[in-house]
Amino acid sequence: MSEVDWGRVRADFPLLERKVHGKPLVYLDSANTAQKPAAVIEAVDAFYRRHNANVSRAVHALGTEATEAYEGARGRLARFLNVAAQDLVLCSGTTFAINLVAWSFAQPRLAAGDRILVSRMEHHANIVPWQLVAERTGAQVVPLEITPQGEIDLDALDRELARGARLLAVTHVSNVLGTINPVREICQRARRHGVFTVVDGSQAVPHQPVDVGAIGCDFYAFTGHKLCGPTGTGGLWGRREHWQSMPPFLGGGEMIREVRFEGTTFNDPPHRFEAGTPNIAGFVGLGAAVDYLSAIGMQAIARRERELLEHALARLAEVPGLRLIGNPPARAAILSFLVEGAHAHDLATLLDLEGIAVRSGHHCAHPLMQFYGVPATCRASLAFWNTEAEIDALVDGIGKVRRQLA
Ligand code: PMP
């Protein structure tokens, strides 16, 4: 028996009640973006109705309330990840976060010939920024290979580390395969070789308890909209000594102490890296999301998603002609697959007509698609609000599509 009433939890998500093409919506695309509970929607609504003002610039009551709400969200997120709030820079999401590390931290430290190890299973957001700084500095991006099951090849990691590297970029959980990488072990090995580590936590923090400090990385990035929060929110945790040493990424208001035409002095971290007006209402919503998830409990969420994953793995194994891409032993509830005789896009389009939302495409992971020799996959990604019945609906839907295409 589960300790949480998951039926009641599901009812917290207004959008899940709607129909698509006349059918009850079956939303299996949480890895793309999560749906939002009413608590998040209401927090954003309440901010705009009652507290809206800019942060840090006004002494009036609303300005103070807005600043407290924004900084309060930073505090909630920091507690959620078990880090100090002053080491957590708020930004628009993982893409921004990794670009910030690439330009402010890595670029000044990179020289021609330096190697940046990037795992084969990264999202483009954790590949392209490294290619851009490599181009600027003469450094080299080196793929860190994976096994056919879809795990980081730890022997390859040791070989690449022994050859020398400046930085290692790795995802905590793969957005395509669901692999949960042993990031603590990986970061320990990298650290022994003096290699800096950047972990992409986008697909990890929404689905399991994450103690960022215990991972031992140098930077940890995440995105708010996969965490039941609004789009355009996210954060980057970094070691304090790194923040202190880093020049600003963007210049503007909020990030300065004093501006003179002769020269400008900068604010302390984290505000040094938060130029301009942030997505205040978005962070209020993200703070509410973290409260919501914490009230359910991330352990309970992880256990529920494990149950759903096991059901999905068992049911998909019954589908003739279905091939799962990757089969990592430690995995989150993300399943990429192909069905014989159906292009991934056709399959997703026909499933949509049944009300079933799955993603098809390369999932912003071209190098991983190249590894498996496929142009695209279909991906079903589950969350704690999904049900076994929805997984059964997916299996029935795939069966129907196969008959249509036969
Ligand atoms: N990394 C991973 C693993 C992701 O799944 C995503 C989103 N698909 C991103 C990075 C990019 O996140 P965002 O677009 O929110 O910046």
pLDDT digits (tens, 9 = 90+) for 4-18: 999 999 999 999 999
Mean pLDDT of 162-179: 98
pLDDT band at 260 (very low <50, low <70, confident <90, very high): very high
pTM for the whole thing?
0.98
Residue 321 in this model has a pLDDT that exceeds 80: yes
315 vs 119, 213, 311, 388, CA distance in Å? 30, 37, 6, 10
**Range from 218-227, 249-258, 279-288, 332-341 carrying the lowest mean pLDDT:** 249-258
Predicted confidence (pLDDT) per residue in 112-154, tens digit: 999 999 999 999 999 999 999 999 999 999 999 999 999 999 9
Annotated active-site residue 228? The verdict is no
Mean pLDDT of 168-187: 98
Instruction: Supply the residue whose CA is at minimum distance from atom 7 of ligand 1.
Output: 32
Mean pLDDT score across all residues of the chain: 97
Residue 259 in this model has a pLDDT that exceeds 80: yes
Percentage above 70 pLDDT, the chain = 100
CATH topology of domain 42-294: Aspartate Aminotransferase; domain 2 (3.40.640)
| Tokens representing residue 203 in the block | 């697909």
- Please write down the HEC assignment for all residues of 307-362: HHHHHHHHHHHCCCCEEECCCCCCECCEEEEEECCECHHHHHHHHHHCCEECEEEC
Q: Can you tell me which residue has the tokens 């984290």? A: 270
Residues in the chain: 406
Predicted confidence (pLDDT) per residue in 216-242, tens digit: 999 999 999 999 999 999 999 999 999
Residue 62 in this model has a pLDDT that exceeds 60: yes
Sorted by where each begins, the domain ranges of the chain are 6-30+297-405, 42-294
Q: Which atom of ligand 1 is nearest to the CA of 32?
A: 8
Q: Which atom of ligand 1 is nearest to the CA of 174?
A: 3
Percentage above 90 pLDDT, the chain = 97
Distance 195 CA to ligand 1 centre (A): 23
Quick one: pLDDT at residue 406? Answer: 79
CA distance 38 to 199: 30
Distance 223 CA to ligand 1 centre (A): 7
Within 8 A by CB and 6+ apart from 13, the residues are 35, 36, 37, 38, 385
Residue 2 in this model has a pLDDT that exceeds 70: no
Mean pLDDT of 293-298: 98
Quick one: pLDDT at residue 1? Answer: 44
User: Which of 30, 170, 171, 175 is the best mutation target for the ligand 1 pocket, counting ligand atoms within 8 Å of the beta carbon and taking the most?
Assistant: 175
Q: Which atom of ligand 1 is nearest to the CA of 93?
A: 16
Q: Which atom of ligand 1 is nearest to the CA of 171?
A: 3
Catalytic residue among 217, 228, 364, 378: 364
Residue 160 in this model has a pLDDT that exceeds 50: yes
Mean pLDDT of 376-395: 98
Mean pLDDT of 251-269: 92
CATH topology of domain 6-30+297-405: Aspartate Aminotransferase, domain 1 (3.90.1150)
Half-sphere exposure of 64 (CA within 13 A, CB side): 3
For ligand 1, residues with CB inside 6 Å are: 93-95, 123, 125-126, 171, 175, 200, 202-203, 223, 225, 364
- Nearest partner of 284 among 82, 53, 86, judged by Cα: 53
Instruction: Supply the residue whose CA is at minimum distance from atom 12 of ligand 1.
Output: 94
